[in-house]
Each structure stands twice: as C-alpha cells, then as structure tokens.
Structure 1
C-alpha cells in the first residue's frame, strides 16, 4: 500500500508587530517594546486522499478533533499522496493511476479546494509528492518509472512547471522528502533497499545525485527531523526503522547503526515539530510505534509498546502544534494525544474516512478555525411561506427576517454545506412526479431567501431532503411512493435536476447522509425499518446496502414508527427516533452496514434527533411530551445515556444545532414557535434563551453558519 511523508513547515505567513512609545524625562529617547508574533503552528485544515476523492477536515487545536468539511472528486485517478505548500495556499496530489499531479488553491477561510487547471504529467505511478520549504519547488517519486520528477511552483497561481527531465532513482521509489534547509532531497527506494540523496539547485530546483545509502528491506517512507541533522526510514519488509546522520555540507547520509524494531510492515514515519519524537504506522500489525529521539545522536528509543490503530494504517502525521498524531487507514482516521514529556500516545475518538484513507496533509496558521452561526429557517405545514431568522452569534437569539413565499404544506427544510442554497419539500400526493421541492438562494449578508425558478419535480409526498457534503447532489425521501429521488445541484444557481430514483421500503420519512459523503440512510415509517445506500461520488447514483447481512438490499429493523434518522459528526454512528426512544447503530465504515443496535428511552413520541458538532451529546425532540431529551454519547460504542430533559413548546417536531455547537433550536408545531437554547460545552446541558414566533405549524428547522 502507499505511504506518505508528512510535510513540515506548513503554515500561513505571520506578521511581526512593534509597539513604539516615547521615553520619559523629555530627553527625546524612544523605547520600543516588541510584541511577540502570533504562533503560526495552529492546525487549521486537514486533507486526506482516498477513493478517488480528497476529503477536507477542520482541526480543533484544543481537542484534536477532525470535523468533516466536505470533499472533492480528485482531478486524477487513485490519489495516493497529498502535500501542502509552506504558505498554506496550495495543495498538490500525486495520482498513481493517471500518472499525474493535481494542483489546487486553498481557501484560507474555509479550507475549500479549487483545481488549478488540468493535472500535470508525472512519471509512471507517482506515489509521493512533497514541496520544499521555500515553496518554490515540488518533487514526485515515481514508483514504476524509477525516477523523481521536479517542478517549479508559480508563486502567484500555484501552477506547476516541469523542471527538466526526471532524475533517476533506485527501484520503486516510494517516498520523497526535502530537508528543512531546502538544499537536499531524499528518496526511499522500496525495491533497491537504499535511500537516494540529491542536491537541490536553489535557483532552478534541479536535482543532482549525491549518493545512495542502504537501509533495511522494502523501504516505504523517509523523513528528516526539524534540525536537518538526521534522516529516518521505515522499512516495510524488515519491520524496522533505519536512522542516518546528515552531513550538513554535502547532504550525504551516514548510518547511525543497527535499525530499531518497529511493528509489522511499517508504512510511514514522521517526526514531531520539536524533533524529540518519531512515530511509525505499521500496516501489518495494525498499530503505531512511538520513539524518543536523542537530539544529540539521533538514536531512537522505543516509547513503550505500540498503540493499537485500525485496520492497515497507511500514514502517520503530527499536527503543527505537536500535540496530536493522526493515522489514516481503511475507512478511518485515528487520533492520538501526545504526551509532550515522554512522547507516549493516548487514543482519542476516531472519524470515518472515504474508503482507504491513504495520506494526509495539514495547513497551519495563527488562529483556530471558528464556526459562526448566521441564519435559521423553518418549513411550515400550514401557510405557503418559509420563515427566516438571523442568529445572534453571542446569545443564539433569533431575529425574524421577511418570510419567503413558497408552496404550501411544507414538510422539511435543509441548507446546502456552502450555506448558499436552501431547499424545502412539500406534501403533494400524486403518483406521478410533480413540482414539490423548492429551491432558494440565501443572501450571504442578510440571510433572506429568494426562490430559484419553478419547484423541482419529485415523486409522491416528499417528506425529507438531504444534501451530501460536497454540495453536488440532493436526495429526497418520498413517503407515499416509497422511494428516494436523486437530484444534481447546479453549482451556480442551486437548481435541482432530477436524475432518477431508487426504491426504499414502505413510508420513507427521513433521510440523512453521513459526513464523509459515502452513505445515506432512510427511516421507513411504514415498514419500521432503515434503508442504506452507497453514494457514487462522481454521478451521485445510489446503490442499496445490505444492512441486515442476509439478502442484498434488505433493510434493518428500526423499532415501531421510526420518524427521523441522523448520522453523528464522526460518521461512525446512526441514530433513529422511534415510538418511545432512540435506536443507536454503529456504522461499518468499510461497507456502510449498521451493527450493534442499542436503545435509549426518550420522551413521548420522539420526532427528531440531532448530534452536536463535538459528537459528545445528542438531543431528541419529543412531540407528545413537549420536551427535549439530552443524551451523552459513548465515543466507542455510540450508546446513549439520558442525562436530562428540558421543556419545549407544544408538539416539537424538529431540532437543529448550529455549526458552532453553542445553540440548539426546536420547531414547535402546535405552539407555532421556535425554542432557543444555549448548550453547555462541558455537560451538554440546555438552557432556555426563549422562544420566537414561527408562523403556523412549523415542522422542520435548519441553520447555517460561516467558517473562518
């Protein structure tokens, strides 16, 4: 499998502020106080290759949590390696099957990726890509053509231009890295068992061979410590790590002695920013080895036993702050906290990935990513309007905006991931497709909705709509016709184009897409079941998942009268409200199948369930008991524990939590209001902020926010 090298020295440019003040005593002297520059080691966005896509995550610098932030379909085929330039403005991906390199600009505020033209040709089977510390050159190890490609980076656009013909390497070059000085490059050759060292021409980026140094068997990954004095190689075949001293003048490598044992088939190695610790992902033994580095000699000493990871870990990365380790593997990303004294790792909750998550790169800056709530919208089953509100980012309070005319009998409302478009479904009972899904643009300043053209044609009685994380496709659960319809979204206008449908079970009333964008789940009220679907990232097409392990396409039981379904922010758990409580399921992140169902009692007639962004608490709106149940979530099993109940309005039908995770909103159908709550970040407790009028019979609520 592929390995990736972690590119150090990522970050956004920072400025140095000086504060000048006049001296006393009238002597005209001036004293200058230097204000420390902000640290530029705060992790912001992470990018992970897998399943012909590039997934985007925000990084919480306090907890290490990775939060799904959409994905893009890769410009090439089989993306194997990703790196980010030191400025954090550009990302580069090596596509091993299409033999090319994709380049992207990075939106500094949102982390969104935009392709920079067509992919640039590389050698055959490019496995690894890196950028030098100056940000002027990129290098690619080409496994099948046994060479290294070099490129100049356009500082303004990020575009790549080939720097001469590829330079010969050993057999099967699988990893490339550049030392912190930017003067030397090193390539681990898996087939020939040695590391090739190259001198970098500072002006042109051209590589000149220095020499080869033998390591272990089947070299998988090479990295250089932050001081630039030592290089380390993960040897997959011999199950160990080789260490080398780097000649500061020539760049030549000298072995530091016998290799140090690792786990089985080590795939990737990285060094933390302090240069004190090294970490190795072992694909064969499904674990991570940790080592302390003697900063004088470069020698490695194992830090306790290897720590368990998921199946076949492929790469290991340390965040820019040096507080967390991330390991990618088969459909997951594992997170660990680093003991800054010993280097020991403590496992934290994992998140789902998109298929085989192969490689990761991370940007850094001076501030953490923040989520700010902006607007809220309610669908009403009575009049033909959608109610809109602004959200006070400090208190969570709502202020009403002008209503927007639409179709009557609204059943659900949702907002696309970009916050530019909103959609409502409407109860229209016909057996043939009719116009019953409305599209709106959202004014980014005011939050006011504007309808986009005619409503879209769907099937009979659309009850729920969901937009997948890339924002390219929408899915509608059609209750009366027992189907899920598929719609392509126009990126400019938000308009929907009907792409067909797939059968569900009886009475589908709610649909949710997991945050990785791979799976969709539907709650079927009529058949008391859950249907699952695999999403095609390119076409948006759905394929039914075998949820019960017996007959392909069969649904799994959901208890009596299921009313809503949601997926937690990690992409590991599904929650379904039913007649007296909530069912919890674990998602098999490889297949999408649901396993290990558990049940938690809620209030009377639970109607809606939501999980707040940290993934630690869930909230259920109970229609008949007019309240909200608060649950804590077991991060390993997904099981729910009821910890509180708070009053809501009459017949609460829908609950939403804003993007910041600070506020919760409940649409109360009978009382025609929205209840507003603050969320205690530590306990998950809800505190009422008050209510606001929401028209006649509001049955669904959605919020949107911004990322900075």
Structure 2
C-alpha cells in the first residue's frame, strides 16, 4: 500500500519534470504471421481460461518482471531419437543438452512454449507423442501418445488456442484433429478427413479462421474451418497451383497480406494474396528457387518468411542450398541469391533468435548447420562449427522454441 501511495504522489511530479512525448503507433493491419514456433503460442483470452497464459497472469505484482525465456533447438532423426540443444542468445551457437528415444521416425515436432510442451509425430508407427520439456536441461518427459488418425503422418502443428494438433498424412492423404488437454495430454482424434493426395503440411492461420493443407499429389492447397468446441472440420474450396508444382509447405508473411508455398516437384515458390477474413488465397506468381544455370535433379522442401517481413527462404534438395527471395510490396518475388547448406538433402529449415539465426537439417548428411541473418540484405552467413551438429542419423527436422523458464 505504501508503494502504491508513493507512486500516486510521484507520478505527477515525473510528468511535470519530463514533459510529454508523442509515441508513434505501430502501423499495419492485424498480424498474420506463421513461423517455426507461431503455432506454439497460447492465447489467454477469457474463452481459453482453462489454459495457462503464455507470459503469466496480466494482473501480477506491481514490480513483476517479464518471464525469462530459454531457447531450445530440437532435431528429429531417422534413428528414432530427438536431440535437444541450448541456443546461445548472443551468437546462435548450439550446445548439446539431451537425447530422447522416441522410436520409429520422429519426422516433425510442434511446440507449446507457455506450457513447455513438445509434440512429436512418428511417421512410421503413425503416432503422436506429447512430452513436457525442461528448458534448463533439455530433458523430454513422456506424457502419452495416441494414434495419429491416418498413415504416413508427416507434419504436426498446434492451433493458436493450444487446444488441438493438426496432423497431415502423406500416404493416406488425411488431415486429423487431435485434442490437447490443459495438462498437455492427447486424446484420440476428434475428426479425420481426406484432404487430398499426399497431404504434406497442415497449419491454422493466426487469424484462427482457416486451416491450410498443401497436398503435393492433388496439386492444391486444401482449406478448412475448425470448430474448436467440437473439434470438427468443415471443408472450404481448395486452391489450385500451377500444373506440376507439387505444393509441400506454406508460410505467411508477417503483417502483410501474403502467403507463400514451396513446390516440391517444380522447385519453385508461389506467392498468394491472403485474405485473413475469409482465408482466401489469390495466386500472384511462381518463381524458381534454383539458379538459372543449374541443370541437376532437385526438389523443394521447407519454406519460412522472415519476421522482418521482406524476405522468404526455401530449401533445395539436390542443389543443396537455401534460396533467398525479396518480397516486393505487391507480393511478387525476386530471387536474390543462394547459400550452401554445407550438407546433402536439406529437408528442414527454421529461424531462431527472433530471426537473427537460422538452422538447416541436412537429412542425407546427418548434420545441422547454422547461419546468422544480415538485416541490410537478408543474407544468411554460415556460423561455422559453433552451430554444427553431427552424427544425427537422418536429420529430418530442426526447430526451435523459446520456453518460459519454470
């Protein structure tokens, strides 16, 4: 009470002493960003009162400080293990923390940063596993696992509310919805639908209105709405890609009305105008992700939009590179260079440190390589051995999460 009374007395004096300053408001529309950990963010709205807030209660003590966050990198490998690494917040260097035997093929992970959870999809046994994460040690403790709802489970993501996982199945072409309880345990799928041949990815947009599922074989991006009360999906009209493209993964541009799809078969990136209110996608153009003089075999793999909003990156398996695109104000793309992945078959690629660092998982080489981001031109500069992880078997996934410290 004394502290609050003193504040009431002192604040007017501070205003008189310091005057006032105009603080510019942030421009732009509502954010529509989807990045390596956007699906891990919990919303603490009244509708989600059963779930813990990501950053603690908003009405905490007067002198409460923001929670500390520890960034952890995860690598899923074909040897059945998930490895964890501490990410140095200043340099991006990786320090080994732990190894968890998941079994099967842990080919993709999703994260809930506020509840310190990791979800692992096993593509050979078609299971989804839930783990609690100790950020200080990198230890994963098993909660439970459930059947994924299809065959060839290849991708998993968490919807923004934290209530459901979305699982795409490459072999059966199905999309499943897996409920997540408040304690992080999983229940049997609440809905399973056929999305399209070779469904490769599933993600709900940040607007919480639309689920997008690139289907490589059907050459479309399937779209759905999700009833978060029942966990049921309702189909919207799919969006077609140029003939022979083979859409694999999708990323949203931060705070701009664009979405980008990496095409596996065509080794290209397609840009779309994105309407957050309707989930609509309007094709703008498609650009090759390869140098004009490259004639070898190649397939596209991963794609991410940088938080700065001006750059999009995609990985090339064959050319073994990361392509850098500049995003024009119209949503058109300019291929602006490549950087070697220093390994073969870069299947997975992620950003970290708020976009200051990047890591790529080279599946055939069993390595993860790190880069620093150059704000002036978007270039990715290799870090060297400080961020090199080796002996990983088939390194199929790399991702990072910034967990709230206990």
CA contact (8 A) 1:215 1:233 kept: no
- Per the alignment, residue 381 of structure 1 pairs with none
1:20-169 aligned within 5 A: 38=66, 44-50=71-77, 51-74=79-102, 76-87=103-114, 89-155=116-182, 157-169=183-195
- For the 8 Å contact 1:180–1:226, the answer to whether it is kept is no
Alpha-carbon distance between aligned partners in 1 of 2:70 and 2:322, rounded to the nearest angstrom: 21
Is it true that 1:322 corresponds to 2:355 in the alignment? Answer: yes
The CA deviation at 1:94 is 1.2
Q: By how many angstroms is 1:160 displaced?
A: 1.5
Return the offset for 1:118. Answer: 3.7
Q: 1:308 to 1:142 in 2, by over 3 A?
A: closer
Shift of 1:116: 1.1
299, 312, 320: which is aligned to 1:265? Answer: 299
- The structure in which a higher percent of residues are strand is 1
Structure 2 residues not aligned, in runs of 5+: 1-34, 42-53, 291-297
Instruction: Give 1:107 shift.
Output: 1.7
Question: What is the alpha-carbon distance in structure 1 between the residues aligned to residue 98 and residue 137 of structure 2?
Answer: 10
Is it true that 1:174 corresponds to 2:208 in the alignment? no
Question: Which residue of structure 2 lines up, in the alignment, with residue 13 of structure 1?
Answer: 55
Q: CA 1:10/1:100 → structure 2, altered by over 3 Å: closer, same or farther?
A: closer
2:267 to 239, 244, 262: 239
TM-superposed CA distance for 1:328, in Å, is 0.4
**Does residue 1:287 correspond to 2:321, yes or no?**
yes
CA distance in 1, matches of 2:158, 2:195: 18
In the superposition, relative to structure 1, how do residues 226 and 180 fare at CA in structure 2: closer, same or farther (>3 Å)?
farther
Separation in structure 1 between the aligned mates of residue 289 and residue 178 of structure 2, nearest angstrom = 34
- Distance in 2 between residues matched to 1:228 and 1:98, nearest whole Å: 39
1:219 is the counterpart of 2:247: yes
> Unaligned stretches of 5+ in structure 1?
21-34, 368-707
Matched, 1:208 2:234: yes
Task: Tell me the TM-score normalised to structure 2 length.
Answer: 0.78
Question: What is the 5 A alignment of 1:654-669?
Answer: none
Instruction: Looking at secondary structure, tell me which structure has more helix per residue.
Output: 2
Report the alpha carbon displacement of residue 360 of structure 1 after superposing the two structures with TM: 2.1
Give 1:348 shift: 0.8
The number of equivalent residue pairs is: 345
**TM-aligned CA deviation for residue 43 of structure 1:** 5.5
Corresponding residue SS for 1:321:
helix
Root-mean-square deviation over aligned CA pairs? 2.5
How big is the shift at 1:336? Answer: 0.6
4+ residue runs over 6 A deviation: 17-20
| Residue equivalent to 2:30 | none
Distance 1:197 1:7, change over 3 A: farther
Rg larger in 1 or in 2?
1
SS of equivalent to 2:55: coil
Contact 2:40/2:110, CA 8 A, preserved across alignment: no
Judging changes above 3 Å, is the alpha-carbon distance between structure 1 residues 199 and 165 closer, same or farther for their aligned structure 2 residues? closer
Residue 171 of structure 2 aligns to a residue whose secondary structure is coil
Q: C-alpha displacement at 1:99, in angstroms?
A: 1.2
- Say if 1:7 and 1:131, in contact at 8 Å, map to a contact too: no
Residues 189-227 of structure 1 show CA distances to partners (whole Å, capped at 9, x for unaligned) of 111111111112233332211121122522221222333
Native 8 Å contact 2:191 2:231 kept in 1: no
Given the superposition, is the C-alpha separation of residues 297 and 80 from structure 1 closer, same or farther in structure 2, using an over 3 Å criterion?
A: same
Equivalent position of 1:298 in the other structure = 331
* 2: CA distance, partners of 1:202 / 1:238: 36
2:113–2:403 contact (8 Å) kept in structure 1:
no
Paired with 1:277 and 1:151, the residues of 2 have a C-alpha distance of 33
Residue aligning to 1:501: none
Secondary structure of the equivalent of 1:116?
strand
Structure 1 length normalisation: TM-score?
0.46
SS in 1 for 2:114: coil
Shift of 1:36: 10
Change (3 A) 1:110 1:88: farther
Q: Which has the higher contact order (CA 8 A, sep 6+)?
A: 2
